[in-house]
Structure 1
């Protein structure tokens, strides 16, 4: 049986997205999303995908993982899975497996994004001269960022674990919220606020501050009620979340000097997109003291594409011809 060149996968804290790749191009008709909770291991999820697509094996795989990547075994940060390149390679019929950080993959996708999938959030009145450095920032199950910058030998991606820095606050009320987020943790990290669970905890704190009972709203439910404007506490939580996001994005612009622009992504970010064009986000983004003018000159957009990391994975995959012939493998 003929097998396509490779497999692209994006393993997040909640969902896994997979696609087949032909000569560096994601085959959109093969894209699927699985819930991690439906599988005991990443190998089981990948094996199920291969069975569903009729592909017994792949020549190579590039897999983006929501965790620091150092070597061939990666323990996920916000999920109990451990990804092992050797075990995954066996499921794929002996494929060469490469791991990337999930935001590393997103950064590699920036040059291939369809402009129609980018919604402008902040368009500067006077844009700075771009230095070519761009930043992708996102909040979902967790939070992270990565930069893409040009070098003499081509593009380079810089990654980190930005969600595990300490959350900055600028008022007494925010300090009380910070203390609530820090209970039994010693401190409040950025990810404790800027994530789905963080939105829920911000909502809980606002309920306690107002002396109101805490309803059993999910993060998605909080976002929906905030957008509808029917629940004042959900609305306050969403605006506080947007304020924190703006502040952190502004700090990251200064850290990476990403004058080429910022792309926002992530499921929670998209669910609260309405609040990104409101003063809470934009004021926090641009209020950077003596560097406010610099940050204000950087364009910000929202990526309406939940599968962009697959494109980034495909761009890092070895190209070995359109179709390879491999022996049939029983999995």
Structure 2
């Protein structure tokens, strides 16, 4: 299945004239399966059939990108053909490349911009999502004067319900201007769940490094209650940079991390490693000019 070897998942079909059977297995089973570790997509399985408005048929199923369990199960689309004997088959092709655009059609952009200047209503539920939110979690966040104001909750990311994005890039950077109130602690994260995350936070006197879902080193913070922080995820290698002048000059933080094991096959949960931000302790943290870019 999903958490087994990359070649262990599959799609099979059976048919019957009655839901009570008897059932006949498709002689072409398995219809979809990862057969080699060299393939672009691992653990392919859990297919659904969909008929399009034009009468064409498609299969929607999931797979892990080769070597990137951290990105979670991703959605794959495969065209379907019906055979003369009443079965169907996936037409396959090279799933490492996007589908060609329709003849005469226009290429459409995919995804959505993840950067956020916080100059309009917070895209909660469409871009940003709280982790395991409580009934009134959304009341913690509000946007004003091109800033996201996030009221503190809990004492650490494990208890603060961080605000997260879904990113599908193998490598990316994200950065933000962060200002805290006295007694507050805030920062940027790569978050799987409340037991497995990493990142960097700060209060007015010290930094706090997050690794394996634990709070570790607390070196001195020379920037005070406001700084700009950048996180780079370069294919599972994590580094942090800091700036006290709004991003004109950067200093690399002296600790890095490796996160290739922050995924379902280690922790369970069918989740994925997501970039995000958190506010804990006391008061309200102010986040400005959040920028995200794939590398």
- Scaled to the shorter chain, the TM-score interval is under 0.3
Choose between structure 1 and 2: higher helix proportion. Answer: 1
Question: Which structure would you say has the larger Rg?
Answer: 2
Q: Which has the higher contact order (CA 8 A, sep 6+)?
A: 1
TM-score normalised to structure 1 length: 0.22
Q: Given the two structures, how large is their TM-score scaled by the length of structure 2?
A: 0.24
